[in-house]
Structure 1
């Protein structure tokens, strides 16, 4: 499995159009279109969703970048110290380097504030975004493929990913021990497929169980599905900081909390309904 094209589509002077940015744009527009239709299906004005998009994306990208810089910084880039010594590098997200968990935190706060100010029904907008978000993530992950990032340890599997020496992190940049013929686990592919499947599943649930669902259930479903897959994928990460002497990192903790908390919330809110109906 090889990166199919150069990361830069076209370059004019100091400006460059990159595949990473283009895929992110496609992912955002595709997800926004689905979310706006879901909002309309729930009886809300889709214009609110498009107005909200701007106010969510900026904090979301800021949070995603800051999480990456301060928590997820790859060892190959020198870690946090590299960014502290070169603060201008923090702004360069076009070369890769954002983390979805930071986007969740900042974007979620922004969504809550926006719906409160507009007096909108927050759970409906959370559901609409949660429904479309896996599709956006699935598309966006292919930017990691082109940038030759988000790969795991060496593998002999036929779908192993070739990583050029200048994109490798220690110890895999040691060509004497890990020659160019070595292939690596394509973690971007695993997560992309998991997200495509999650989108299909949540979409089916939103239609099949429409009468049984409460506002906010799809959002809880997303917070179960995505972190569940991410929990196991993290064991294969090669660019994360792990707690000393363990195979666990911060994402494992956040993922476990999200899955357990969302599962309990989903069970409790429908358990209460059954008691009332009885």
Structure 2
């Protein structure tokens, strides 16, 4: 007698629950959970670097809003055939709750918004970016569970023991509804769970970033650059396993090309930018996270945090003990 043991991974029977008229979407819950985890971790890490953790809350508000916009823009642009066609419903462009956020666009626009915020406050961006990197990738790992509930972004059919079952889902009328419907129990196919591969890769990156930062006291944006390079490397091989429709550039999936460019950029940054972790007086000269009075923001590189900092009692990191020829009072910030 031959016994065959099937050890496939089931998909959730549904990704949306209704409390009266209110839809509760697993995809949204995963994203929100990831954001909360990232905020807690980033607050602790930024405070350890000498920054005001309340800055993280301000940055989170900006990055979440711009991240959703950037993520949706990236997804719509790179998958434009699904939204701009003769029989497409343009309203779907704005239906973020149905899935479809490109993490590369989300991080790019979110980071740009936070960079502008930090520059306006006269604070260096790099220490905050380095503090946030492990939290960002942790949020991405948690967010990948949303793709599991949505039965999306999976790989090619497979017979490996950990293959993912994709069910047929229907709505109340019996019509096919992959995102909002409920499973009939019919297995349409068994595929590579690429969401799980990326989730595990991202969790490994959390460990790598925390270890590297602690071991080498990385600063000047190098932790963030390591995050970019490592994530891009993982996303590259995961993309090679996916079979869902995608636009191509020179015969390659768009995300494969983007991952390659991000990997090269991250590695070049690590090779070209040197320096240990910034001192607390550089991270937050006044110690309260506000715009630094007496600090000429042009004198401090908002990306690397290097340069001379004048705060009335410090000049280039050296304290001025009292009035005298060397202490000519605080400079006027602008």
TM-score by length of 2: 0.71
Offset at 1:221? Answer: 0.5
Structure 1 residue runs without a partner (length 5+):
169-178, 272-278
**Shift in alpha-carbon separation, 1:151–1:83, aligned structure 2, 3 A:** farther
Q: Does 1:29 align with 2:33?
A: no
Q: Which is richer in strand?
A: 2
In 1: Cα distance, 2:149 partner to 2:86 partner: 23
Counting only pairs closer than 5 Å after superposition, residues 24-63 of structure 1 correspond to structure 2 as: 24-63=31-70
Q: Does 1:226 align with 2:243?
A: no
**Shift in alpha-carbon separation, 1:130–1:167, aligned structure 2, 3 A:** farther
Q: Give the match for residue 2 of structure 1.
A: 10
In 2: Cα distance, 1:84 partner to 1:182 partner: 27
Offset at 1:4? Answer: 3.2
Structure 1 runs of 4+ off > 6 angstroms? none
Counting only pairs closer than 5 Å after superposition, residues 1-278 of structure 1 correspond to structure 2 as: 1-13=9-21, 15-72=22-79, 79-82=82-85, 85-165=88-168, 166=176, 180=187, 182-210=189-217, 213-237=218-242, 238-243=244-249, 246=251, 248-270=252-274
In 2: Cα distance, 1:125 partner to 1:25 partner: 21
**Shift in alpha-carbon separation, 1:45–1:187, aligned structure 2, 3 A:** same
Structure 2 residue runs without a partner (length 5+):
1-8, 169-175, 179-185, 276-334
In 2: Cα distance, 1:3 partner to 1:249 partner: 26
Is the CA contact 1:2–1:162 (under 8 Å) kept in the aligned structure 2?
yes
Larger CA deviation: 85-94 vs 133-142: 85-94
User: Max radius of gyration: which structure?
Assistant: 2
Is the CA contact 1:83–1:90 (under 8 Å) kept in the aligned structure 2?
no
Offset at 1:239? Answer: 2.8
In 2: Cα distance, 1:269 partner to 1:98 partner: 31
Q: Which is richer in helix?
A: 1
TM-score by length of 1: 0.84
